[in-house]
Structure formats: structure tokens, C-alpha cells
Amino acid sequence: MKRRWIVLLLLVSIAISISWGVPLGRSIPGGTNDLQVIYYAARCLIGHGDPYQLSQLRAVYAAAEKVLPPNSIERPQAVTYFIYLPPTFIAIAPLSVLPWGVADALWIVLLAGTLFAASFLMVQEGMHVAPGISLLLACLVLANCEVGFALGNAAVLVTSFCTIAAWCFVEERYLWVGIASLVLAFAFKPHDAILFWIYLLLAGSLPRRRALQSLVLGMGIGLAAILWVSAVAPHWLEEWRANVAALEAPGSLSDPGPSAEKGRSAGLVIDLQAAVSVLKDDPELYNPVSYATCGVLVLILCVTAMRTRFTRETAWFALAAVGPLTMLATYHRPYDAKILLLAIPGCARLWSKSAKTGGIALFLTTLAMVLTADLPLAALSDLTARVDVSKSGILERAMLMPVIRPAPLALLAMAVFYLWVYVQQAGVERTSRKFAEASAM
């Protein structure tokens, strides 16, 4: 397949998301909500205000004569509670000094550009073995990013940076681009990048070097950011914890339960807690069950990484498991799931090797991508809007779980499958190495 056709189809796919998402974001009073959070918080800090205090953040909005959007800081369960960590301020500072209209436009261009680059790299990596499958999966992801573009959410940027960094490190090319991308991902959303970084740290000497280089650079930026924020807002850590707690309160925006404010929308929470909460909407149940399940899977990943020689083959299978595991282990929403782009090279390899295993890989990867995609989730939210599990028995709840919370279940199936493939491939790799060493004696 010629490169120009790949580029054209990817551009058409991302244009679908932009053409729907950007006008939707412009229709919201005040503009793209999630970008506003970090943009005005950074302006608040630059003006020597405390962005973790709602009263001071509200004053910055008022000074800009901004029309406050619905569900904004006027309500206690608002998206404009600032819950980003200090490194975000350094990352967003260049945009925050620009007028809002300019910053908004540049931000959308940045989101689209990095997402396109990440998708193109994954297709390029997979096209050597299965070009059609690689392009199909990438187009599926790109055509379903409407909510991310509408809100201007940093997750689109972060998942793209993680994907770009993965390509740079596996291919051993443009390494400083990869390191800078990983550091920026950590600056905005560390919970999107942490499992990827842990894998690099454990996977061998070369990826460990990249992980440590990223750590050193990130710690320098983080220390500078903490000193800056602490000088203006000495109690920022306690205020940050209070903001996070407010958003995680029962029924609020970050509550994974079915009764949450966005529990039945295209922006619902997709971590494993969201699925378990259907059985019983109680954090004393769904948190331990989810953490234990994800903990076992992460432990298997880490042990396998430490015992396996880092190769391109094993790396892409491991990263195909890292993507869905990242979504399950901590708080995430569908726009974070664009990190599933990491699974494209691994899926393409399996498709080229075995009809049976490749078919399973394609089915589970496509299923997870579809059930975390914006358009299917929007349709599903309409269909299940009136489903009430509060008066249902445990068996009815279990039967409704795949209907109300299909995304976490699909992500779990995908994570388990690719983890199994990674363990199997690691065993083959160790056997081949021992055979080669024995033959050399």
C-alpha cells in the first residue's frame, strides 16, 4: 500500500473527529472546557494566584470577562476544580500567555498533529506484516475522537506522546524526541504514562536507560514546577487532595459508579471499578477487587519483562497489554483509551503469523477500540439511559454489566489476551536463546 493512500485515509479519519468535535466544543458556553481548566489555572498562577482555590480561579475567569460554562466552578462537582499536578503549569505556560482564541486554536492543532503522527507511526510499524489491518485499526481510533477534540482534553496529547515515545524507543530512533514526549506525557497525566515507564524500566538495559533519562529530565521539570507553585500556593498539596476528593465523591464527575453524574454518557469512567460497581456501588468492594485484579496482571507483566530479553517482537506484544492495563488500573475516560494505538503492531504481527490467534487478536482489539470509541458510546448511552440497577438483584446486575459497562470488560479481555501472548513469546525467546548458547559451546 502506497504511503500517500495511508496518509490520505488517516487524514480523512481524523477529519471526521475534528469536523464533529470542534464545532461541538465551540457550542459550549466559554469554549473547550478541559483546556480552560489548565489555561486559566496557569494564568492564575502566573498572576500570583492559587489555582487550587476555586475563589481565586473564579476571579481569573471574571477578569477575562469569560462566560462560565455549565457545570463549571459555580458548582462543587465541577470539571474546573484544578486536579492537575504542578508540572502541568510548565508544559502549558507557553500557551497560557497567549490570548484565549489563539491558544485554543493552537491547542487543537497540537492535539490533531500529535495524534496523526502517533497513528501514522503505528501503521508504518504494522504495515510490514499486515498493512490493511494496521490501517483499519488506526482509522477506527482516529474517527472516534470527537469528545477529546470538543473538550480539548490533554489525554489526546498524552496518549499520542506515549505512542510516539514507544516507537522511538523500540526502533531506537529519534531517542530525544521519545524522551521529551514521555516527559511531557508525565507532566500532564502521569497516570497515563506510568505503566509504560515501569515496563521500560524493567525490560532491559536499553529501555531502562531511556526510562532513567526521562526520569532525570522529568524530575528537573517537576522540581522547578513544585518550587514555583509552592512559592505562590504553599498549601497546594492539601488543596489538590481536597479537589480530587470532591470530584470522587458519590455521584460526582469522577465517581465510577452507575449513579455518577456522567455514568451514562460518552464520557463515562472506563476503569475496572466502573464495571465492578454495577454489582455493588460501594468503593469498599469495587476498589479492592479492581486493585487486586489489576495488581496480579501488572505483576505478571513486570516479572515477564525482567526475565525476557528486549526485542522488537516482545516489546510490541508487551505494549499491546500495557495499553488496556493502563486504562483498567486507574481512573480513565474514553479519550484516554486512544493509547490502544499501541496494540496495532502486536495485532498485525499475530494476524500475519496465525489465522486463529490473529483472528482473536483482531476481534479483541477491535472490540476494545469500538467500545471505548466516542460514537458507539454515545449511541450506547442513549440506549441504556433508563436502565436502573439500584433495585436489581445481584444476578440481574451481573447480566446488565456487559450492557452498562462493556468498555472495562473488553479492555480486561484484551489485556489478558495480550499478556498471555507476551508470556508465551517470552518463553519462546528464552528457549531459543538457551538453544543458541548450547549450540555455541
Residuewise pLDDT in 10s, the chain (441 residues): 678 889 999 999 999 999 999 888 877 665 567 888 899 999 999 999 999 998 888 888 777 766 555 444 444 333 367 889 999 999 999 999 999 889 999 999 999 999 999 999 999 999 888 999 999 999 999 999 998 999 899 999 999 999 999 999 999 999 999 999 999 999 999 999 999 999 999 998 999 999 999 999 999 999 999 999 999 999 999 999 998 888 877 777 777 877 765 555 556 889 999 999 888 888 889 999 999 999 999 999 999 999 998 999 899 999 999 999 999 988 899 999 999 999 999 999 999 988 899 999 999 999 999 999 988 888 887 777 677 777 777 888 888 888 888 999 999 999 999 999 999 988 777 666 665 555 555
Classify residue 122 by burial, with Cβ atoms within 10 Å: 0-12, 13-18, 19+: buried
Q: Where do the structural domains in the chain lie, given as residue ranges?
A: 3-427
- pLDDT of amino acid 389: 74
- Cell triple for 233: 500556593
- Cell triple for 367: 472490540
- pLDDT of amino acid 383: 76
- pLDDT of amino acid 2: 78
Among candidate residues 329, 435, 413, the one with its CA nearest the CA of residue 368:
413
How far is 19 from 35, CA to CA, in rounded Å? 18
Among candidate residues 142, 57, 66, the one with its CA nearest the CA of residue 99:
66
pTM over 0.85: yes
- pLDDT of amino acid 76: 39
